[in-house]
Amino acid sequence: MEKNKEVLLVEYQAAQESAQHHDNLVWTLTALIWGGMLVLFGFVLGNLDNASLRLILILLSIIGIALTIAVLVFTLQYNSVMRQKYQRCKTIELLLGMQQHSELKYTPGLQKIIYNIITILFVIAWFIVFLLVWKNH
């Protein structure tokens, strides 16, 4: 039983580290992409009347929409891995009489709702920018 406990503790630590890693990936990726998109918004909006850049502005608008959707897909995947890893921690806690993650209290889903609203707003904003560029020909 002692060897089994050691194995479970090692697995617990690895699962927790992996969960934290994937959570960090979500927020690092989000910060980089959203920050970059705000800069890109500034460039596109600052050049709306520049007819010589029309095609590149249309392309940048499409890229903005694609990046917004891509960051959401990556986030969903990383969050799935993170939840699975934390669930494994909870299972090990049950086996070993631990409580770190099992007793955690928080409002589930609230962060996801806010994240999705911001993502939808980004897509809408990029679509409006796309229409503005398309209209200014």
Give yes or no for a contact between 92 and 33, defined as CB atoms under 8 angstroms apart.
no
Whole-model pTM? 0.83
Quote the DSSP letter at residue 100: T
Whole-number pLDDT of residue 135? 87
Whole-number pLDDT of residue 52? 93
Q: How many domains does the chain have?
A: 1
Q: Which residues contact 118 (CB under 8 A, 6 or more apart)?
A: 34
Which amino acid is present at 116?
N
Whole-number pLDDT of residue 105? 84
Whole-number pLDDT of residue 70? 96
Could you read off the pLDDT of 115-134 as tens digits, one per residue? 999 999 999 999 999 999 99
Tokens of 134: 């398309």
Give yes or no for a contact between 121 and 34, defined as CB atoms under 8 angstroms apart.
no
Could you read off the pLDDT of 38-53 as tens digits, one per residue? 999 999 999 998 999 9
Whole-number pLDDT of residue 108? 80
What three-state secondary structure class fits 30?
A: helix
Closest residue by Cα to residue 84 from 29, 31, 11, 30: 11
Alpha helices in the chain (DSSP H): 2-46, 54-96, 110-135
Which residue segment(s) compose the domain that 51 sits in?
2-135
* Ranges under pLDDT 70 in the chain: 1, 137
Whole-number pLDDT of residue 119? 96
Q: Which residues contact 102 (CB under 8 A, 6 or more apart)?
A: 90, 93, 94
